[in-house]
Amino acid sequence: MARTIAVIFAGGVGSRMSGADKPKQFLELGGEAIICHVIDRFEETPCVDGIVIVCIESWLDHLGQLLDQRGYSKVLVSIAGAETGQGSIFNGLSYIEKNGLADENTVVLIHDGVRPLIDCATISACAESARWNGPTATVAPVTETVVTVDEGKVVGVTDRSRCRLARAPQGFNFYELYGAHMRARKEGRCDFIDSISMMSEYGYEVFVVDGPEENIKITTPRDFLTFKGFVDLKEYEQIWR
């Protein structure tokens, strides 16, 4: 079965979101939690067959209420996360494997629960690249000058035309990614910043697809205001079409 399953991990507690009384993924914009903005995009993408959500255990009941209210048809389960993003992703992959939801042709998309400004076209492009090319990172262009610094001095200027910002989703053959996570656990490695870094370290060639520049990860109050600005802009453009 050539299925595509998304794993949305939302295990962060939002320590950098000062003043927030709830984890950042549950902050609301327009009456809708950030994580629901994320789920909406994957629910709307035709190639996505199922969604597994990994969440802070103490907020699973609240998440369940949101899921019931929204009536998502593709959400398969919401399960508890781990202490790290790597561990939370592994929990999602383990659920898929243990419940026989994947075979050798299944693509898995890994996405942050606080990265809501994604679009269906990018999700589809990432899934297709993962299926036909291999491990795939969604990227965005670098628009500022990138320099290398050592002991307070600029020691190099990087050609930004060759640089990209790694974003999400990241796409993989399910069993290749699951195997890499099992290897990392066997080796006691829990320090991978994301799944693309893990696959690259273990010798896989990584491909890229371009995604929207605004596809930021919301970790600070400034990020939240940026998110609000993009949503307001889209609403304004729709009104004046």
CATH of the domain at 9: 3.90.550.10
Between 40 and 143, the higher pLDDT residue: 40
Rounded distance, CA 231 to CA 210, Å?
20
What is residue 78's predicted lDDT score, i.e. its pLDDT? 96
Q: Is 84 helix (H, G, I), strand (E, B) or coil?
A: coil
* Strand residues in the chain grouped as ranges (E): 4-10, 28-29, 32-33, 50-55, 75-80, 107-112, 136-141, 146-150, 153-158, 164-173, 207-210
- What tokens appear for 9 in the block? 């991990």
Residue reference for tokens 């994320």? 38
Q: Please indicate, yes or no, if residue 41 is contained in any of the structural domains.
A: yes
What is the pLDDT at residue 65? Answer: 95
Whether 147 is covered by a domain: the verdict is no
Is the residue at 153 inside a domain? no
Would 15 be classed as within a structural domain? yes
Other Cβ atoms within 10 Å of 15 Cβ, number: 10
How confident is the model over 182-190, as a mean pLDDT?
Answer: 96
Residue 169: asked if its preceding bond is cis (omega within 30°), the reply is yes
226's tokens = 């940026």
198 found inside a domain: yes
106-135 average pLDDT score: 97
The CA distance from 169 to 110, in Å, is: 5
Cα–Cα distance for residue pair 151/149, rounded to 1 Å: 7
Residue 75 lies in a domain: yes
Residue-number span of the structural domain to which 178 is assigned: 4-137+164-239
In sequence order, the 6+-apart residues with CB closer than 8 A to the CB of 84 are: 190
pLDDT of residue 143: 85
Reply yes or no on whether the pLDDT at 200 is more than 60. yes
Q: 8 with 113: CB under 8 angstroms?
A: yes
Number of compact structural domains in the chain: 1
pLDDT at 241: 61
Residue 175: per-residue pLDDT: 97
Q: How far is 192 from 109, CA to CA, in rounded Å? A: 17
